Amino acid sequence: MSTRSLVENADTVSLVCALLVRFPELASIRCGPTDRTLRLTFALRQRLDKTAQHVLAEAVDEHVRSFLALSKEEPAVLRVECEGDRSLTFVHVTRDFESFSKDELELQVGFLRDRCGDALVRNPHPDDHLDTDPAADDEAAVYAIEALRDPTQSKSLVGFREEKHVLVYFLKSQKKAKASARR
């Protein structure tokens, strides 16, 4: 592995961590540079039935499309899917890099917070997060989204939370194989 790719990987890990720390409502982020998409996952502390999942997915889709219409943008990719397990529901929002923004992410988080209340899982901040500057966190989030758009970004990755830690995996080209995690 070249020194440049080590630096790019470290930067990418830092950027994904910045997004997950800035938006504690995000359960995971999956970046797919080959199809130029970003998949954001939110978790709800309740299992929604299929009808409620469909209604929630339609509402998120409508809010994002309305938000983008205000700036006369049309998403190249916008998919909202809900997935339930025994006690949770996961809301997956897949977006194209080009039209996605931090403002849209704030809209999604605000909408889900208002719509789902305490059912929306909000992860606690890491212990060392007490002294951070909210404006700096916002700036890091903007920079993270811009950097993920970079066409030279070639590694697929997934970042998620485990307790108060953020884990990031670079995905290998094989479908189910993963490289080692970074914290």
- Residue 58: half-sphere exposure toward Cβ, Cα within 13 Å: 6
E strand or H helix at 169, and its extent?
strand 165-171
The pLDDT score that the predictor gives to residue 166 is: 75
Q: Tell me the C-alpha to C-alpha distance, in Å, between residue 153 and each of 32, 88, 120, 175.
A: 9, 33, 31, 19
Nearest-angstrom CA–CA distance, 109 and 98: 19
Q: What residue type is 61 in one-letter code?
A: D
Contacts 24+ apart (CB under 8 A), 66-71: 67/103, 67/104, 67/107, 68/99, 68/104
Burial of 23 (0-12, 13-18, 19+ CB in 10 A): buried
Cross-strand pairs, 170: 157
| pLDDT value at residue 154 | 62
- According to the model, what pLDDT value does residue 81 have? 97
Would you give the distance in Å from CA 93 to the centre of its chain? 8
List the structure tokens of 155.
Answer: 């590694």
Q: What is the mean pLDDT of each run of 10 residues along the chain (183 residues)?
A: 46 78 90 88 96 97 96 95 94 94 94 96 68 72 73 72 73 51 48
Quick one: pLDDT at residue 138?
75
What is the C-alpha to C-alpha distance for residues 31 and 33, in angstroms, rounded to an integer? 6
- Closest listed residue to residue 84, CA positions, set 25, 43, 29, 27: 43
Contact 168, 155 (CB under 8 A): no
Q: What are the beta bridge partners of residue 157?
A: 31, 170
Answer whether 0.75 is exceeded by the pTM.
yes
Q: How far apart are CA 107 and CA 131, in angstroms?
A: 26
- Separation CA 81–CA 30 (nearest Å): 14
- What pLDDT sits at residue 140? 75
The pLDDT value given to residue 26: 93
